[in-house]
Each structure stands twice: as C-alpha cells, then as structure tokens.
Structure 1
Amino acid sequence: MKVRVCVVLLSCLWLISCSKINQENYNRLKAGQTKAEVEDLLGKPAECSGALGLSSCTWGDQSSAFISVQYVNDKVVMYAGQGLR
C-alpha cells in the first residue's frame, strides 16, 4: 500500500513539474507567431473565444498560473501571464 501511495505522489509531482505554463515558455512567446507555433510551445489551450478574425486563448488556471494570448488573424498581437515560475 505504501508503494502505491509513493508512486501516486511521485506521478503528481512529475506532472506538475512538466507544466508548459511557465516563465521559460512565456519568454519564448513573440508578437507575430502563429497560433500553431504557440500551441506547439504551450499545448492546447484551456479555452478560446473570439469572432471576426480576433481571438483570445488561455492556458492554465486564472486562480493560479496562466498565460493568455490574443490573436488577430491567427497571429499573436498581445500576451500576458501571471503566477508563472
């Protein structure tokens, strides 16, 4: 039983440490990148919304760490992050 608990805890720690929502990846974002380039870097977003060529996508959880990217015609125009490590 103790081995299972240790394995579960180590797995959780590993998943947390593998998060793509971090300062290093945020620093790699640049205006003009395509939506596909951002998704290669950060993975699929938690949520996206938009219309008429404008969109906004968010990765992570706004109650802790997140990155938000705004696009015009699928090109980065602005981005912001909070709680990144």
Structure 2
Amino acid sequence: MSLRSIALISFCVLLAACSKVNQENYSKLETGMPKAEVETLLGKPADCSGALGMSSCTWGDKNSFISVQYAADKVLMFSGQGLK
C-alpha cells in the first residue's frame, strides 16, 4: 500500500471521528434554542425544508442522524438515531 493511500485512509478515519453528529452534541440541544446556535453546534445541515415559519433540518446520514424542527427559527422538537 502506498504512502498516499495510507494518508487518505487516515484522513477519512479522522474526518469520521470528528463528526458533530454524536450523542454529546445531541444532549446539548434544547427546546427554544435559536437556529443559529444549533448550526454553531452541529454545522450546516445536510438537508432543510419548510414553509410558513416552520422548518425541519437534518444532519448526518440514514444510519446516524439528528433531525430538528423549528418554529420561527427556534427549536420546537428534535430527534436522533444511531448516535454514538
């Protein structure tokens, strides 16, 4: 295996270990928290949708994710799955 391949694999492992989608950050979420504060904690969401002052954003993938629902840019409720 070349040095370049080893470096790439190491980088991918390190990047996966640095994911903000984890139980520790999920535990910091609170109802009423501003959307900007959630994005500071979790980073930019993978997906967002909404209308009429309501929105829903998701971080992570289908196996491990955090989903947050907002009303007027404040956390209304949240859920998570597969968090470590």
TM range (shorter): over 0.9
Q: Does 1:75 align with 2:74?
A: yes
SS in 2 for 1:37: helix
**Which amino acid counterpart does residue 50 of structure 2 have in structure 1?**
G
Structure 2 unaligned regions, length at least 5: none
Q: Residue 56 of structure 1 aligns with which residue?
A: 56
Q: CA deviation at 1:66?
A: 0.3
RMSD after superposition: 0.8
Q: Residue 33 of structure 1 aligns with which residue?
A: 33
Question: 2: CA distance between counterparts of 1:12 and 1:22?
Answer: 17
1:4-44, CA deviations, whole angstroms, 9 ceiling, x for partnerless residues?
11101110100000000000000000001000000000000
Q: Residue 9 of structure 1 aligns with which residue?
A: 9
Aligned residues, how many?
Answer: 84
4+ residue runs over 2 A deviation:
none
Counting aligned pairs with the same residue, the percent is: 62
**Which amino acid counterpart does residue 5 of structure 1 have in structure 2?**
S
Normalised by the length of structure 1, the TM-score is 0.95
1:28-77, CA deviations, whole angstroms, 9 ceiling, x for partnerless residues?
00001000000000000011111111100000112x10000000000001
Question: 2: CA distance between counterparts of 1:5 and 1:61?
Answer: 25
SS in 1 for 2:25: helix
**Which amino acid counterpart does residue 78 of structure 2 have in structure 1?**
Y
